[in-house]
C-alpha cells in the first residue's frame, strides 16, 4: 500500500510539474527573458576559422565581447580575426590550436590566461566528419573524428572550467547536432560523437550542481543544430525533409548566441 501511495504521489507531482512548465512557457512568450549582456566577457571559440565558428566570433565581437579565435588552420583563423578588426573592433585574438592535442590545448590555455585573461564563455564548436559507410572508414579517420568531436571537449573543459568554478561564474556552450539525437546514413562515426557531447554536457552540469550543493552559477548549454551549410558534408537524405531544412552558418550562429544569452 505504501508503494502504491508513493507511486501515485510521484505521478501527481509529475502532472503538477508539467502544468507548471506549460504555464511558465506561456508566461515567457508574453514576457520574454531579458538577454544577458556579453559586453566585457572573454569568449573562446574553437573552430573559429570558418563556418559557424567564424560567424560566432563575429557575432560575439559585435556585441562587445573579447573574442579568442582558436583553429588548427592558422590562415583562416587569422582571417577571422582580420575580418573582425576591419569592423573597427580590436578586442580579438587568434591562436592556432589543434583541440585534439591535449598538451597543445593546455599550452594555449596558459597563453590565453597570461595574454588575455580568464575565459568566461567557452564555445566548443570545432568538429569534423567523413561521409562514408562504417566499413569504408579508415581507422585513422575514425580516431581523428573521435579526437576532435569528443576528446577535445574534455581537454578544453579541463583547461578552462576550473577558473569558472573558482569564480563561480561562466558559461560552457557545446555544439552537438540533430545527428546526436538520431542515427543517419553514413553517420556511424559522427552520430556517436554527437551523442557523446550531449551526455558529457548533461553529466558535467549535474556533477557540478551536486558538488556545489546547488550553488553553482556556471551555466551549460548544448546546441542541436539541423544541417548547417558549412561545406563539411552534403545535405543528408531524411524521411521528412520539410522538417529538416538547412541553415546558413549566420543563422545558426545567431541562434546559438541567443540561446547562450
Query: Which residues carry out catalysis?
Result: 190
- What separation in angstroms does the CA of 136 have from each of 24, 143, 232? 49, 14, 18
Q: Integer distance in angstroms from the first to the last C-alpha of the chain?
A: 48
CA distance 69 to 97: 9
113 SS3 class: helix
| 43, β-bridge pairs | 67, 121
- What separation in angstroms does the CA of 167 have from each of 36, 66, 118, 162, 220? 18, 18, 10, 9, 15
- Backbone φ and ψ for 189, nearest 5 degrees, come out as -105, -45
Amino acid at each position: 500500500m505504501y508503494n502504491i501511495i508513493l507511486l501515485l504521489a510521484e505521478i501527481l507531482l509529475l502532472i503538477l510539474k508539467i502544468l507548471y512548465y506549460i504555464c511558465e512557457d506561456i508566461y515567457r512568450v508574453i514576457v520574454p527573458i531579458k538577454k544577458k549582456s556579453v559586453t566585457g566577457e572573454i569568449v573562446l571559440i574553437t573552430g573559429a576559422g570558418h563556418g559557424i565558428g567564424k560567424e560566432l566570433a563575429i557575432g560575439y565581437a559585435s556585441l562587445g565581447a573579447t573574442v579568442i579565435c582558436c583553429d588548427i588552420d592558422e590562415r583562416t583563423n587569422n582571417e577571422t580575426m582580420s575580418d573582425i578588426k576591419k569592423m573597427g573592433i580590436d578586442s580579438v585574438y587568434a591562436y592556432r590550436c589543434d583541440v585534439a592535442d591535449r598538451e597543445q590545448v593546455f599550452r594555449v590555455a596558459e597563453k590565453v590566461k597570461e595574454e588575455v585573461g580568464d575565459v568566461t564563455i567557452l564555445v566548443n564548436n570545432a568538429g569534423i566528419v567523413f561521409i562514408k559507410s562504417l566499413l569504408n572508414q579508415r581507422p585513422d579517420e575514425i580516431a581523428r573524428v573521435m579526437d576532435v568531436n569528443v576528446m577535445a571537449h574534455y581537454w578544453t573543459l579541463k583547461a578552462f572550467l576550473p577558473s569558472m568554478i573558482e569564480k563561480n561564474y561562466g558559461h560552457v556552450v557545446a555544439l552537438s547536432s540533430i545527428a546526436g539525437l538520431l542515427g543517419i546514413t553514413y553517420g556511424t562515426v559522427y552520430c556517436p560523437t554527437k551523442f557523446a557531447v550531449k551526455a558529457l554536457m548533461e553529466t558535467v552540469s549535474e556533477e557540478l550542481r551536486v558538488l556545489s550543493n546547488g550553488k553553482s552559477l556556471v551555466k551549460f548549454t548544448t546546441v542541436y543544430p539541423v544541417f548547417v551549410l558549412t561545406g563539411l558534408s552534403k545535405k543528408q537524405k531524411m524521411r521528412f525533409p520539410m522538417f529538416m531544412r538547412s541553415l546558413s552558418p549566420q543563422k545558426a550562429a545567431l541562434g546559438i548566441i541567443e540561446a547562450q544569452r
